[in-house]
C-alpha cells in the first residue's frame, strides 16, 4: 500500500499522491475474512487495521526487499502500492543549496519493478494481483501490464476521473482476470476492496 519516497537529499523526495487507503482497505477486508495478512506500506498517515502485521518502508528498494521477503509464504499477493518508478542516481548526503541563476538537473535511474519480479518467482497456485493506474487506453494498458508482469488479476482505475484512484475515499475499478469476464465495481474503497477479494476467490476456485 501507499507511495514510496525517493529521496533527493535529506529534505526532499520524489513521490506521488497515494494515501494508502486502497491498500489498507484491502488488508482490512482480507483480515475480516480470516486471512493472515502482512501489509507492506510506504509512508502514509493511516492507522493500520487491527490484527494485520505491518512492515513499514520508505523507498521502492525497501518495498522490493520487504515484498520479496514475504512473498514465499503468501497464497495471494495484492500490489496496490504506487511504487516510484525512478530514483535519483545519487542521493545527496547534504541539503542541496540553491545557486543564483542555476537550474538543478536530476539524473534519474529506474527502480526495480516489484510486481514483475514477484511474477517471475511466482509459486504454483499463488495468485498475484496488480493494479493499473491509467489515464488513457485503460483496458489495453492493463492487459499489457498483466502480461508483462505475469499477473493473474489486474484492477484498472482511471486516475483522472473524479472520485477515483489517488487520495480519495472512493474508487472505481475494472477487474480483469485471465479467462473471466471483466467485473466493474465503484464505491467506497472498503466496498471496492471486497469486490476485488471476491474476484480473487472466484479465480482461486476456478484455478
Ligand atoms: O493509495 P490511494 O490514495 O488509496 O490510491 C490508490 C491507488 C491509485 C494508488 C491504487 O488504486 C492504484 O492504482 N495502485 C497502483 C498504482 C501504480 O503504481 O500503478 P502502475 O500502473 O504504475 O503499476 C502497475 C502495477 O505494478 C501496480 O500493481 C504497482 O504496484 C506495480 N509496480 C509498479 C512499479 C514498480 N516499480 N513496481 C511495482 O510493483
Rg over CA atoms, the chain:
18
**Checking DSSP bridges between strand 76-79 and strand 127-134, what pairing results, if any?**
parallel
Testing ligand 1's pocket by substitution, the residue of 6, 14, 18, 25 carrying the most ligand atoms inside 8 A of its CB is 18
* % of the chain at pLDDT higher than 70: 100
Cα-based angle 6, 189, 124 (whole degrees, multiple of 5): 75
Ligand 1: distance of its center to the CA of 2 in Å?
Answer: 8
pLDDT at position 169 is 98
Concatenate the DSSP letters of all residues of 112-132 into one string: P-HHHHHHHTPPTT-EEEEEE
Tell me if 46 CB under 6 Å of ligand 1: no
Q: Which of 16, 17, 26, 5 is nearest to 131 (CA)?
A: 26
pLDDT at position 155 is 98
pLDDT at position 204 is 77
pLDDT at position 207 is 63
> What cell numbers appear for 23 in the block?
491498500
Q: What is the pLDDT of residues 94-149, one digit of tens each?
A: 999 999 999 999 999 999 999 999 999 999 999 999 999 999 999 999 999 999 99
CA distance 195 to 199: 6
Establish whether 16 is a catalytic residue: yes
Low-confidence ranges of the chain (pLDDT < 70): 207
> What cell numbers appear for 66 in the block?
520487504
Amino acid at each position: 500500500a501507499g507511495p514510496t519516497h525517493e529521496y533527493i537529499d535529506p529534505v526532499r523526495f520524489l513521490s506521488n499522491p497515494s494515501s494508502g487507503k486502497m491498500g489498507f482497505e484491502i488488508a482490512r477486508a482480507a483480515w475480516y475474512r480470516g486471512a493472515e495478512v502482512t501489509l507492506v506500506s510506504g509512508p502514509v498517515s493511516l492507522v493500520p487495521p487491527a490484527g494485520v502485521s505491518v512492515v513499514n518502508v520508505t523507498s521502492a528498494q525497501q518495498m522490493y526487499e520487504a515484498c520479496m521477503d514475504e512473498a514465499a509464504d503468501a497464497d495471494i499477493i495484492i500490489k496496490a502500492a504506487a511504487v516510484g518508478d525512478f530514483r535519483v542516481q545519487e542521493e545527496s548526503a547534504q541539503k542541496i543549496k540553491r545557486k543564483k541563476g542555476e537550474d538543478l538537473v536530476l539524473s534519474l535511474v529506474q527502480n526495480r519493478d516489484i510486481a514483475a519480479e514477484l511474477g517471475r518467482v511466482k509459486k504454483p497456485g499463488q495468485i498475484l494481483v496488480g493494479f493499473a493506474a491509467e489515464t488513457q487506453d485503460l483496458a489495453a494498458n492493463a492487459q499489457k501490464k498483466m502480461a508483462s508482469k505475469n499477473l493473474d488479476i489486474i484492477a484498472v482505475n482511471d486516475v483522472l476521473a473524479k472520485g477515483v484512484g489517488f487520495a480519495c475515499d472512493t474508487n472505481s475499478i475494472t477487474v480483469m482476470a485471465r479467462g473471466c469476464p471483466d467485473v466493474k465495481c465503484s464505491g467506497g474503497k472498503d466496498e471496492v476492496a471486497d469486490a476485488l477479494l471476491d474476484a480473487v476467490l472466484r479465480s482461486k476456485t476456478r484455478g
